Every structure is written in C-alpha cells, then in structure tokens.
Homo-oligomer: A and B are copies of this chain.
Amino acid sequence: MSEISSNNQPIKFGGYYQPKEREVEDLTARVGPGTPCGEYLRRFWHPIMLRTQLDALPRAIRILSEDLVIYRDLSGDIGLLHKHCAHRGASLEFGIIADHGIRCCYHGWMYANDGTILETPGEPASSPHKDRYCQGAYPVIEYKDVIFAYLGPPELKPEFPILDAMVIPDDKMVPYLIHSPCNWQQVSENSMDPFHVPFLHTRVAGPQFSEVFEQLPIIEYHDTPYGFFYTNARRVGDYIWVRMHDHMVPNFSQNGAIFENVGKVRYFGRPGLTRWVVPTDDTNTMVIAWRHYNDRDDPQHQGDPHEVGVGKTDFFGQSGDRPYEERQRTPGDYEAWCSQGPITSHKREHLATTDRGVALLRRKLREEVQNLQKGVEPTRPTALNGSHIPTYGGDTILRIPANGGDDVKLVEEVSGKIAAAYIAFQDLPDTERRTAIANRLAPLNVGDTQAINPNQGKIFEFKPLA
C-alpha cells in the first residue's frame, strides 16, 4: 500500500492507504535491563526522587523498568535495593528500617545499604549465606533536595557530575517531579525542538509564556564536548535576545529563563530549569528538575517557588491534572508529548526542517547506544579544574536596534558571535567565564544600554492563527 497515488499526488481521504505502522525504535525506546538503551542509560547518574518524598517508611519505586525499594535508615543514609529480598522474595517495602540498612519482614534478614547481608538471624552461626551473595543495591547521592542513583556496573560508576548551573551564586533551587504516561523520548525530544514554542506555546491557543515567543526563532545547533546547545535568537524592539538551550545525551536539558524579560542588557544569564527526563519504564517517565530563582534571571519575580514540588511546577502545561476539556482548549507540553501515545513510532512521522534538533538528538543517541553495543563506553564531560562542568543554558540580551539593513542576517550574526564567546571561554571557571563573555560582547551594544524598553514583553500584537 502507498499513500501516494499513481500521479504522484497525496491521496485525498486516503486514510486507508496511510501507514498504520506502530513499529517502535527498540534501540532507543526500551530501557529495561539488558536492552541496548537500558544499558546505555545505566552508565549515568539519574535523579529518581525528591527528598521530601522519603519519610519514615520504605517506598517502592520503579526506575528503568526495575522494581526497587528506597528508604532512609535511622542514621540518615539512603538505601536503594532491589524490591524483592534475595532470600525468599518478600518485598522490602514491608521491611523494617534499621539504624544502618533494612531488615526483611519475613525472616529478618538484614541488609546494608550497599546490599551486604548483615544478618541471617534464623540461620546457624556458621551459615555461609551472608558471605556468598548480596541483595541487589545501587549507590545514591542526595544533592540539594534531589536523590540521584546510578544503576550501572559498579566498577564503571562515574563521578557525580556537578554542573555550573547547580552552583550559581545567590540562586535558590527548588526541585519538582512530574510523571508522564509515555515513553521518555517523547518528553526528552520536546526540549530539542525550539520550533514548537511559537506554535504550541503562543500562536495556536494564545500565549502561555510571552507574546514574544510568537516570532519564529533563528536557531543554530552546536555540538560541544559538553553536549549540544542551541541558540534561539529573536529581535525584540531595540534588543537582540538570544536564549541558549542545553541538551546532553541521554536525558539532560536546560532552558533559558522561564519568564521572558527583554528590555535590559544581560550577559550570560543562567537557565530557568535544570532538568532530567527519567524513564520509569518503557511507557512511563518522570521529569525531575530544579527551578532556579534569582534576581538576575527573574528580576520581576514572576516565578513562584511555592507552586513547585511533587506533581507540579510554576509554569504552564507540564502535568495532566487540568480538566480534559481545558487541556483540549489550551494544550501544553504535557499534551504534546503524552498524546503521541504510550510509545510513538518514528516510522509514521514526517520530520521537516524545523525538526533538525530532534533529528540531531536521535542520531546522537543512536550512535551512543550503538557504540556501547560495540563495547565503547560513553564519554562523559568531566569537571573543569576539579570544579564544575560548564553548560550554556540561559539568556544573553544585547541592545542592537535594527539598522535598516537585512535584520534577519544581523540577528543571525549577533547570535553567532554570542555562541562563539560562550564556547571560547567555556573552559574558564564560572565567574571568569561570565566576565570574559561580557567583555567580549559589550562592544556589540549600540546606544544607551541602561534605557529600559517600555514595551518589554509587549512588542508584538498577538495574531491567533485559528
């Protein structure tokens, strides 16, 4: 069957001939133990839970299709063990938390947080059991109210990566965790897709963030040793506004500022969001992220940290808890990614120019997975000078009014210069990097950079398309 008629035209009312393919990209969609992408994902630290979700009782969770139990022992340490006791399989969610480790309810076997069997109290003293095997265990790290785990081979455990955006001075970080009932790629790809913003978030059903986003952005993708970033450039009145967006494979991304605020020069602003997309299993996914709050990137305090936590965040359309009809009228990111179904099939898609970011991401992910299949362990960015891993996400705003020439070309050139500055100084320590970037970019400004543009955020008249 073909969806094209003999005269090479698409067939009207041709649903019958359309591909009904549901073939799944198993190479990158499946995340369980032993699957190619599951193995690849097991080479990274992933956030799995917020600190506030862990109280005095163990908690059954599911990560990368593995059933696990997490608990904080009475000494304050966190254990993350396979759910079923190595002895007779009772779930450790019914275990009794100990000073150090947890005790299975059934026969009282006691496990350390590293999986060591500390006691087999019904067995004779000479029993060799506890020296012969372990309870399955994974290391965890608690960092700024988020619990991270590493589910890979222990001998390959990487350093826990501290990113520069995790240690921004004078920055308040508040984490959230939101579940989506779909494959992780659908959620992850959304942030390598800057072209959904003018449509989903602005033109299609009214502005969800700012009218400014109605403008089609000028995008350039950059592949660095620290991952992808792309520049997202728009003219706003007398300003050229460039948002940088990070995307490190497999599942990390950072946005620019959540709430637009163009009307003042800014150099090397930092991300509004530091985010991981973590598979629960093949058809369930968690977004776990920190929102950043600081005066520089959110000068008007439009963000609201009290709205951020388990199941919720302070910006539009990230969860499924709105009424169905309201979600139909004003769909958000959640509707865009979940409504592709439990696992979408790339075979039925038709990627276009605007999907270049998605295509790059998919290719990179496939390469990395295939490399590991061949035995090549993934390379991971390492901290600079023992300090932090540089990222790019955040906004730079320069005062460069249109000069009567080709403005698209002007915006493109400025955007390219900003990206070049970010890259040139990426190996500098954080504050030096900002200073170096600012020094290089400052001369590009034209006119009074202190003047506040009174039209900030209101320059474009909203023209709904539908």
> Measuring CB to CB, which residues of chain A are less than 8 angstroms from any residue of chain B?
3-4, 9-18, 20, 33-34, 42, 57-58, 66, 80-82, 84, 86-91, 93-94, 96-98, 103, 105-108, 110, 114-117, 120-124, 127, 129, 131-139, 151-154, 157, 195-196, 198-200, 203-205, 216, 325, 327-329, 331, 335-337, 339-341, 344-345, 348-355, 358, 465-466
List chain B residues, Cβ under 8 A from A80.
Answer: 15
Closest to A129 in B: B352
Q: Which of B116, B138, B205 contacts A10 (CB 8 A)?
A: B116
List chain B residues, Cβ under 8 A from A4.
Answer: 132-133
17 contacts between A and B (CB under 8 A): A10-B132, A12-B137, A15-B66, A15-B138, A16-B138, A16-B151, A17-B153, A18-B86, A18-B135, A20-B33, A57-B329, A84-B340, A89-B340, A94-B327, A96-B205, A121-B465, A123-B354
List chain B residues, Cβ under 8 A from A137.
Answer: 12-15
Q: Are B18 and A127 in contact, CB atoms less than 8 angstroms apart?
A: no
List chain B residues, Cβ under 8 A from A133.
Answer: 3-4, 10, 350
Q: Are A105 and B11 in contact, CB atoms less than 8 angstroms apart?
A: no
Q: Are B14 and A115 in contact, CB atoms less than 8 angstroms apart?
A: yes
Distance in angstroms between the alpha carbons of A9 and B115 in the assembled complex:
12
Q: Which of B66, B96, B151, B355 contacts A466 (CB 8 A)?
A: B96
Q: Which of B42, B97, B105, B154 contacts A13 (CB 8 A)?
A: B154
Q: Are B336 and A106 in contact, CB atoms less than 8 angstroms apart?
A: yes
Distance in angstroms between the alpha carbons of A134 and B340 in the assembled complex:
18
Closest to A117 in B: B10
Distance in angstroms between the alpha carbons of A349 and B133 in the assembled complex:
11
Within the complex, the shortest CB–CB distance from A422 to chain B, in Å, comes to: 25
List chain B residues, Cβ under 8 A from A200.
Answer: 105-108
Q: Are A12 and B123 in contact, CB atoms less than 8 angstroms apart?
A: no
Distance in angstroms between the alpha carbons of A59 and B378 in the assembled complex:
45
- Given A90-B335, A98-B466, A133-B3, A122-B33 contact (CB < 8 Å): no
Q: Are A115 and B15 in contact, CB atoms less than 8 angstroms apart?
A: yes
Closest to A190 in B: B106
Q: Are B336 and A94 in contact, CB atoms less than 8 angstroms apart?
A: yes
